[in-house]
Amino acid sequence: MAGFFWAAKPKRPPVVPTDTIIPVHYFDDNAINRSVLLYLTLRFDHVLDPGCLRGALERLMQLGGWRKLGARVRTNDQGRLEYHVPASYSAERPGFIYSHVANGGSIQDHPVASRIPRPTAQTAVYSDLGNLVDLARRSDGPRKLDDFLYSDEPQLSLHIVSFTDATLVSVSWLHTFMDAMGMSAVLRAWVSVLNGREADVPPVCNFDKDPLSSLGTAPTEPHVLAQRQLSGFNMLLFAVRYASDMIRYRDSQRTIYLPPQRLQAIKEDALRYLDDNNDEDDDATAAPPGSQKTTPSFLSDAHVDAVGRHGQRL
């Protein structure tokens, strides 16, 4: 009778005895990451060989710890996520799902792909570009976490769309699996294999090692923003304003393009700012004569994208 009112909960796939089972790390398994499926599409104005791209990624998953790229995600009896890593990959249990769509025309004639922005010398902001995600995944591809939990679907998908004058290479993955910086490392390793430079592929952490396991467990000083934490009335005020904005303003998407020269200029400006402030801190603490200055500041491109004080200048 209960099934008349609601669907029965799907069953988890059976455990494969030869799989390596490892828990998903603490900072990866949270509600936000569970709700996000990421897509990355690279446009090449050349006709690439899909078989070579596929073969190089398959080969990467045969190299040491890179095998965990083909992990399946499951929930344990406590509701936490865990990975089931196959001992090897085959046509029946591939390390990733591969799909290819061959278009017989130019990318400029495609109603959606033709709207993909082209690189320019200037910073640009683009309005809604349409449903580009349809170009980044297969038609029957997963859409949410449950699509992975109750199937033997690997977390990584490779979708290639070929035109007569261009190729779109898309990868998709769960946010619990990795972030954009993690995918950047995968892309570099993939390209190394593609170019026949397997010796340049770096090792990855062992399955059972969590690099962030001790993060925040023994702080040596208060957080720099500790005095700005919201609580009480201020927290309530923030929640009211946030809810008001969600109701008043229509959801819309914008794409910001930063040319490499502009990104580098922002990065150099930010580094000078940080180094100048580090010098002031060193002077304030009266470092002994002859002692070394603070370690030079470091900023990744991801840091630069998030530098708030430059946001008003874009």
CB-based contacts of 87, cutoff 8 Å, min separation 6: 18, 19, 20
User: How far is residue 121's CA from residue 75's CA, in Å, rounded to a whole number?
Assistant: 47
The SS3 assignment for 143 reads coil
Predicted pLDDT at 305? 63
Sign of the dihedral through C-alpha 244, 248, 249, 250: positive
The partner residues of 85 in beta bridges, in order of sequence, read 20
Please give the radius of gyration of the chain, using alpha carbons only, rounded to the nearest integer. 24
Degrees to nearest 5, angle at CA 176 with 254 and 252: 15
Mark whether 175 is an active-site residue. yes
The answer to whether 233 and 49 have CB atoms below 8 angstroms apart is no
User: How far is residue 304's CA from residue 313's CA, in Å, rounded to a whole number?
Assistant: 13
Other Cβ atoms less than 10 A from the Cβ of 252: the count is: 7
Provide the residue-wise pLDDT of the chain in tens; the chain has 314 residues.
455 556 667 888 889 999 999 999 988 999 999 999 999 999 999 999 999 999 999 999 999 899 999 999 999 989 999 999 999 999 999 999 999 999 989 999 999 899 888 888 888 888 766 678 889 999 898 999 999 999 999 999 999 999 999 999 999 999 999 998 899 999 999 999 999 999 999 998 877 778 887 887 888 888 888 888 888 999 999 999 999 988 888 777 777 888 888 888 888 888 888 888 775 554 444 445 554 555 667 777 666 666 543 454 44
Domains of the chain, first to last: 11-200 (3.30.559.10), 259-283+295-309 (no CATH)
- Which listed residue (46, 100, 175, 223) is catalytic? 175
Can you point out the beta strands (E) in the chain?
Answer: 20-23, 37-44, 72-75, 81-85, 97-102, 124-126, 157-162, 167-174, 255-257
What pTM was computed for the model?
0.81
User: How far is residue 114's CA from residue 232's CA, in Å, rounded to a whole number?
Assistant: 50
The string over 150-166, giving b where at least 16 C-beta atoms fall within 10 Å of a residue's C-beta and e elsewhere, is eeebbbbbbbbbbbeeb
Predicted pLDDT at 121? 84
Question: Reading across the β-sheet that carries 72-75, which strands appear in turn?
Answer: 20-23, 81-85, 72-75
CB-based contacts of 116, cutoff 8 Å, min separation 6: 41, 43, 107, 129, 132, 168
Closest-CA residue to 43 (of 123, 127, 129, 122): 129
Place of tokens 């070929």: 162
Other Cβ atoms less than 10 A from the Cβ of 41: the count is: 18
Place of tokens 């902001």: 125
Predicted pLDDT at 176? 93
The answer to whether 89 and 165 have CB atoms below 8 angstroms apart is no
